């Protein structure tokens, strides 16, 4: 159970020993002081949160102008692969935040110390990371705050303004478009043979700029173009995901299941026709049903109350439309948001069903490590509250290079050419972020 941090409480050695024994086998890479000194204060409305970021290595979780942004590093945890990576991360944060000296008069989700995180999609991927920033600026429901961890400084001083990527060069990722269509066809054959019901296949695309790519430029463009999405940045992974995996605020949980997609129309009439076809599409409704049922099954043991709609609704974004099911629940007992993330990931919306069979087929046909694409991304605070999405519509930045990702749900009726067109539509989000 997450405990409320106490002021001036020394670290509890018994808890540290338990933590060490529990996660020693996963060889965590930790950078952290012995004790965090955390001070949160109410501030006047900070205005646009993204514009407050002074460094290209930004941390962010923003939707409709609200959320949190951070920079600097008070602590970092890098996790190798493993089925217990969520439990290891959760226990590390309990230990770190539980021994911290915290002054937080704001007491809302996201105030006080926060860890931004993104996890590898595959349990075998060694890419999961949690970062506790030194400075956090947040705004939620009319409240605004600044959190400082460690030595004080001028946290809002701009080091240098963001610059747009220049002279981008594009190249294929692991598979060319024709090779990826062949992978989709092979997946359809496996599904029709009865080996699985659905698999989500992803492909990547590479871009290289003349100068290092500034995450703040991408965040600005994404937040302006897709305000209804969760615009995020963590350890070089930048994107705008429409999919809320889970939100925990006290005992209350919210999730948004998305599966089944079509591109927006070119005219209002075309848009309406595409929406009608999506609602009536047996292929897309089947894909959505797999995802919604899995979320129901995963959350039911954790919740005293759970509401999942019988029929999906339509979520309309700037570039695509999705079949969507909003889910609401009340926890049966106190659990961290990371406990719930562990129960949900990976959903059929990003892997397939049955999960283990789908993961094996993804490894066979994609011929790449997705890294943190399609893994959980978000934040968690000292109360165990947090918001986590699925890292979709994103790119992984590494200096001058960007690696973009897009994935499609494959079922028995999938057409490889249509799936390729859908993936190309999904790429356009991050192509826009890079090119403007």
List the beta bridge partners of residue 330.
252, 305
- Greatest extent of the chain over all pairs of C-alpha atoms, in Å: 66
- CA distances in angstroms from 276 to 10, 178, 265, 280, 417, listed in the order given: 60, 30, 12, 6, 21
**Distance between CA atoms of residues 194 and 323, nearest Å:** 25
Contact in structure between 389 and 230 (CB atoms under 8 Å): yes
**Distance (Å) of CA 298 to CA 246, 303, 366, 374, 380:** 12, 10, 27, 18, 20
Among candidate residues 73, 208, 211, 243, the one labeled active-site is 243
Q: Is 44 exposed, middle or buried (0-12, 13-18, 19+ CB in 10 A)?
A: exposed
Q: Which of 198, 287, 396, 426 is catalytic?
A: 198
Tell me if residue 243 is catalytic.
yes
Q: Which residues contact 413 (CB under 8 A, 6 or more apart)?
A: 282, 283, 286
Can you tell me the distance from the alpha carbon of 40 to that of 172, in angstroms, rounded to the nearest whole number?
Answer: 46
Q: Which residue has the tokens 């993204």?
A: 50
Whether the Cβ atoms of residue 137 and residue 52 lie closer than 8 Å to each other: yes
Q: Which of 175, 193, 173, 201 is nearest to 359 (CA)?
A: 201
Please indicate whether residue 283 is annotated as part of the active site.
no
Element (H, E) at 295: helix 282-299
Question: Positive or negative CA dihedral for 151, 157, 159, 165?
Answer: positive
Residue listed under structure tokens 């390729």:
420
DSSP track, 64-81: TTEEEEEES-SEEEEE-S
Active site residues: 198, 243
């Amino acid at each position: 159970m997450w405990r409320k941090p106490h002021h001036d409480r020394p670290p509890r050695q018994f808890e540290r020993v338990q933590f060490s024994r529990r996660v020693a086998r996963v060889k965590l890479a930790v950078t952290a002081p012995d004790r965090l000194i955390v001070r949160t204060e109410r501030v006047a409305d900070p205005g646009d949160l993204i514009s407050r970021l002074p460094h290209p290595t930004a941390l962010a979780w923003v939707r409709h102008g609200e959320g949190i942004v951070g920079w600097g590093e008070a602590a970092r945890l890098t996790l190798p692969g493993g089925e217990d990576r969520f439990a290891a991360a959760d226990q590390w944060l309990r230990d770190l935040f539980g021994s911290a000296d915290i002054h937080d008069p704001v007491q809302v989700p996201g105030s006080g110390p926060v860890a931004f995180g993104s996890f590898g999609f595959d349990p075998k991927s060694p890419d999961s990371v949690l970062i506790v920033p030194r400075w956090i600026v947040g705004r939620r429901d009319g409240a605004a705050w600044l959190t400082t961890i460690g030595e004080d400084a001028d946290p809002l001083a701009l080091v240098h303004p963001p610059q747009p990527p220049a002279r981008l060069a594009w190249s294929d990722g692991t598979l060319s478009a024709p090779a990826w269509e062949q992978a989709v066809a092979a997946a359809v054959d496996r599904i029709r043979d009865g080996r699985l019901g659905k698999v989500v296949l992803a492909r990547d695309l590479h871009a290289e700029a003349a100068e290092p790519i500034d995450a703040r430029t991408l965040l600005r463009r994404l937040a302006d173009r897709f305000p209804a999405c969760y615009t995020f940045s963590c350890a070089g992974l930048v994107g705008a995901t429409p999919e809320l995996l889970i939100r925990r605020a006290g005992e209350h949980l919210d999730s948004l299941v998305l599966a089944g997609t079509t591109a927006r129309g070119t005219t209002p009439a075309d848009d309406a026709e595409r929406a009608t076809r999506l609602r009536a599409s047996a292929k897309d409704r089947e894909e959505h049903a797999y995802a919604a049922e899995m979320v129901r099954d995963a959350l039911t043991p954790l919740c005293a109350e759970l509401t999942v709609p019988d029929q999906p609704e339509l979520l309309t974004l700037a570039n695509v439309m999705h079949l969507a099911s909003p889910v609401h629940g009340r926890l049966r007992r106190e659990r961290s948001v990371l406990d719930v993330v562990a129960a949900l990931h990976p959903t059929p919306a990003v892997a397939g069903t049955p999960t283990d069979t789908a993961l094996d087929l993804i490894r066979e046909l994609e011929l790449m490590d997705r890294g943190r694409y399609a893994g959980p991304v978000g934040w968690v605070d000292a109360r165990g509250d947090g918001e986590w999405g699925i890292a979709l519509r994103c790119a992984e930045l590494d200096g001058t290079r960007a690696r973009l990702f897009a994935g499609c749900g494959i079922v028995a009726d999938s057409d490889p050419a249509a799936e390729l067109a859908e993936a190309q539509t999904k790429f356009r989000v991050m192509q826009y972020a890079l090119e403007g």
